């Protein structure tokens, strides 16, 4: 079962309801990233308590560790990690792309992309693997994801015209093979299309048109956050979102600073994922209603106020900035837990407030005020 329905609109921003076999979520939604089958420093119970309803899993990482055999024998990803809500899994394309731009132990490149798929050396042991559009779908079906992403050819910024064209053609070729691999699977999971087309307007427009020909249940804006300036990322989000059909969910992959989310919601994006709230929590950066705060700072040594006076999370209700600073400086594991609880709650509340403002027809005023706050440092 998969359904998407728009309930409210304010300009281009929209609120909707996304129904999957594993539950219903309101959009715009933020999905925390559970790279290795866990949102780092969190338990499923904590996530639920914070208000998280949907998470993302990384196919590349789960395929390497623990491996699909373990997940299959463990009863599928939901049961194995004990998460009852919807899960979206990515295709591994982005991780493989990341490997291709890194350098590996002095070797030239550890990734080779052909029309057949991607041959790569993993980051753990340097073993060779081959991802094809078909086996990547099979992996996600084995995991039992609610939303499956096809293998796409993601390229860095900047890329020349020839490579941009090649990546688009290959992504579409792979999409057809992915659709084929999904045939005969009616157990409720769905496949989204990914729009590539690099940073070339004409190519992006063509990418949207040709991806839409496949008539899929949802569409992702891909190939962004690959090293381009922020303005370019926003311009291309705007362009692609303006061309996607109203009635289908739109997912902006891997983009998720609060200000980027607010911008993209204003352009009609419904779904987001990003490591920012969890990763920055572990490095001591806290998002608050007064601006961004680095808890490591010595000026918090004797600050016994809550991290964010307006936040209702467990961390803010119980602990002071001075204590969180002490835990962080002492490298205590609890520091990761408490900071992550707060940042995820900040994101969940941000999305709740985004949705309320759309419902009240006041999203753009809300966006202006919030953007201003987010630029501040505490």
Report, in Å, the least distance between residue 334 CB and Zn ion.
Answer: 15
Under 8 Å between Cβ of 368 and 282: no
CB within 8 A of 192, min separation 6: which ones?
147, 148, 149, 150, 216, 217, 218, 219, 220, 249, 251
Euclidean distance between CA atoms 347 and 358, whole angstroms: 16
Among positions 272-331, residues that touch Zn ion (CB under 5 A) are: 308, 311, 313, 315-316
Query: Which of 2/314 has CB closer to Zn ion?
Result: 314
SS3 (DSSP) at 374: helix
Interface characters, 342-371, with Zn ion (x: CB under 5 A): x-----------------------------
**Catalytic residue selected from 10, 90, 122, 260:** 90
Would residue 184 show up in a list of annotated catalytic residues for this protein? Answer: no
Which is nearer to Zn ion, 31 or 311 (by Cβ)? 311
Is 90 tagged catalytic? yes
Q: Which of 152, 270, 273, 308 is catalytic?
A: 273
Is 143 or 350 the residue whose CB approaches Zn ion more closely? Answer: 350
Total site size for Zn ion, rule CB under 5 A: 6
Q: Per-residue b/e over 178-196, b at no fewer than 16 CB within 10 Å?
A: bbebbeeeeeebbbbbbbb
Applying CB under 5 A, which part among 97-105, 160-168, 182-190, 335-343 lies near Zn ion? 335-343
Minimum separation from the CB atom of position 51 to Zn ion (A): 12
- Is 110 in contact with 121 (CB distance < 8 Å)? yes
Minimal distance in Å, beta carbon 55 to Zn ion?
Answer: 20
19: β partners: 3, 24
Angstrom distance (rounded) from CA 183 to CA 63: 22
Nearer to Zn ion, 191 or 313 (CB): 313
Q: Which residues are catalytic?
A: 90, 273
Which stretches of the chain bind Zn ion, using CB under 5 A? 308, 311, 313, 315-316, 342
């Amino acid at each position: 079962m998969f359904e998407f329905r728009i309930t409210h609109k304010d300009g281009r921003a929209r609120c909707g309801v996304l129904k999957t076999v594993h539950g219903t979520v309101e959009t715009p939604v933020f999905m925390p990233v559970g790279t290795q089958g866990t949102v780092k420093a969190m338990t499923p119970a904590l996530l639920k308590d914070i208000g998280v309803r949907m998470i993302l899993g990384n196919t590349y990482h789960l395929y390497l560790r623990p491996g699909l055999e373990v997940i299959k024998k463990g009863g599928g990803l939901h049961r194995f990690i004990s998460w009852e809500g919807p899960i979206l899994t990515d295709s591994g394309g982005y991780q493989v792309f990341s490997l291709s731009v890194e350098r590996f132990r002095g070797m030239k490149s550890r990734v080779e992309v052909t029309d057949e798929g991607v041959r790569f050396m993993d980051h753990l042991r340097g073993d060779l693997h081959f991802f094809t559009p078909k086996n990547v779908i099979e992996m996600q079906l084995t995991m039992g994801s609610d939303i499956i992403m096809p293998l796409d050819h993601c390229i860095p910024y900047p890329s020349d015209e020839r490579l941009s064209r090649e990546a688009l053609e290959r992504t579409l070729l792979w999409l057809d093979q992915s659709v084929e691999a999904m045939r005969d699977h009616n157990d409720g999971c769905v496949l989204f299309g990914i729009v590539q087309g690099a940073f070339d307007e004409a190519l992006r427009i063509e990418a949207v048109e040709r991806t839409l020909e496949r008539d899929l249940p949802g569409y992702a804006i891909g190939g962004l956050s690959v090293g381009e300036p922020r303005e370019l990322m926003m311009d291309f989000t705007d362009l692609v979102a303006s061309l996607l059909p109203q009635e289908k969910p739109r997912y902006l992959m891997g983009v998720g600073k609060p200000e980027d989310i607010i911008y993209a919601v204003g352009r009609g994006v419904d779904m987001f994922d990003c490591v920012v709230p969890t990763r920055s929590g572990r490095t001591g950066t806290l998002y608050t209603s007064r601006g961004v705060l680095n808890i490591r700072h010595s000026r918090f040594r004797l600050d016994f106020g809550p991290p964010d006076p307006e936040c209702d999370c467990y961390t803010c209700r119980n602990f002071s900035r001075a204590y969180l600073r002490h835990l962080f400086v002492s490298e205590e594991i609890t520091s990761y837990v408490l900071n992550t609880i707060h940042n995820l709650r900040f994101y969940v509340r941000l999305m709740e407030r985004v949705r309320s403002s759309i419902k009240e027809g006041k999203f753009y005023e809300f966006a202006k005020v919030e953007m201003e706050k987010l630029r501040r440092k505490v």
